[in-house]
């Protein structure tokens, strides 16, 4: 399941989120790698450079099924609207809401034929044994595709093959099965790329 919804929010709410999340006072944290966070060990497919790290900034106001700081208050109406857009197959439960701010990437690994970050599955979706949905909302006008791969499963595949690339577009919502490996990418022609990622589970799991 891959679904794209353009012009998702009313214009006033879309502008509100952009103004909020592009403001220098919004409390992002620096991360050494936009996928693994601390830049530590992370499994990679064979057709991806294992030492590739991409710095960025992130804020996670909701994690493990609960608000973890006061910033989640900014997103409550947004969360309701995204939840209403999800398939009606389950009563989806929000597990995590994360705001990622990517900046133009280093050219260190240009010899590799990959312009995306590390392939991964979001927020402990692997191993749950149930259904998950990833929802990505593109906050600003930017570039840097989201890449969705054919591969699924608990173990990192030895190779990944591109299933679909989705260009960021301001006020676009992307929904896809959380079982798919996927990756973000850095902007090349804009100063920054802001995306809100929301992970929904089919029930509340006992996550350690």
**pLDDT tens per residue, range 52-85:** 667 789 999 999 999 999 999 999 999 999 999 9
pLDDT at 196 over 80: yes
Domains by residue range for the chain, with CATH: 2-201 (2.60.120.620)
Query: What is the structure's pLDDT at 55?
Result: 79
Query: What is the structure's pLDDT at 108?
Result: 52
Query: What is the structure's pLDDT at 136?
Result: 98
Class of residue 83 by CB neighbours under 10 A (exposed 0-12, middle 13-18, buried 19+)? middle
Average pLDDT, the chain: 87
Q: Which of 93-107, 122-136, 170-184 has the highest mean pLDDT?
A: 170-184
Spatial contact of 89 and 3, defined as CB atoms under 8 Å apart? no
Q: How far apart are CA 143 and CA 63, in angstroms?
A: 27
pTM recorded for the entire structure: 0.89
pLDDT at 203 over 60: yes
pLDDT at 112 over 60: no
pLDDT at 44 over 90: no
- The pair phi, psi for residue 94, each rounded to 5°, is -70, 125
Q: How far apart are CA 46 and CA 29, in angstroms?
A: 30
Q: For residue 39, what pLDDT band results from cuts at 50, 70 and 90?
A: low
Q: Spell out the SS3 assignment of the chain.
A: CEEEECCCCCHHHHHHHHHHHCCCCCCCEEECECCCECCCCCCCCCCCCCCCCCCEEEEEEEECCEECCHHHHHHHHHHHHHHHHCCCCCCCEEEEEEEEEECCCCCCCCCCCCCCCCCECCCCCCCCCCCEEEEEEECCCCCCCEEEECCCCCCCCCCCCEEEEECCCCCEEEEEECCCCEECCCCCCCCCEEEEEEEEECCCCCCC
Q: Report the pLDDT averaged over residues 3-18.
A: 97
**pLDDT tens per residue, range 116-168:** 788 888 866 666 778 899 999 999 999 999 999 998 876 777 888 899 999 99
Query: What is the structure's pLDDT at 168?
Result: 97
Question: 130 pairs with which residues across the strands?
Answer: none
**pLDDT tens per residue, range 13-23:** 999 999 999 99
pLDDT at 48 over 70: no
Q: Report the pLDDT averaged over residues 20-33.
A: 92
pLDDT at 181 over 80: yes
Q: Which residues contact 178 (CB under 8 A, 6 or more apart)?
A: 121, 122, 125, 131, 132, 133, 134, 199, 200
């Amino acid at each position: 399941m891959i679904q794209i919804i353009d012009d998702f929010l009313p214009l006033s709410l879309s502008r509100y989120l952009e103004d909020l999340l592009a403001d220098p006072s919004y409390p992002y944290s620096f991360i050494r790698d936009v996928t693994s966070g601390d830049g530590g060990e992370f499994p990679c497919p064979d057709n991806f450079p294992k030492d590739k790290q991409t710095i960025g900034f992130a804020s996670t106001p909701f994690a493990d099924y609960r608000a973890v700081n006061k910033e989640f208050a900014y997103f409550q109406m947004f969360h309701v609207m995204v939840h209403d857009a999800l398939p009606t197959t389950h009563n989806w439960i929000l597990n995590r809401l994360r705001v990622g701010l990517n900046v133009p990437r280093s050219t260190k690994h240009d010899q590799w034929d990959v312009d995306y970050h590390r392939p991964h599955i979001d927020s402990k979706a692997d191993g749950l044994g149930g259904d998950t949905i990833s929802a990505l909302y593109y906050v600003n006008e930017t570039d840097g595709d989201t890449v969705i791969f054919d591969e699924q499963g608990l173990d990192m595949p030895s190779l990944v093959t591109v299933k679909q690339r989705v260009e960021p577009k301001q006020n676009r919502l992307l929904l896809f099965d959380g079982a798919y490996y996927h990756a973000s990418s850095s902007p090349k022609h804009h100063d920054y790329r802001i995306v809100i990622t929301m992970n929904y589970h089919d029930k509340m799991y006992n996550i350690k």
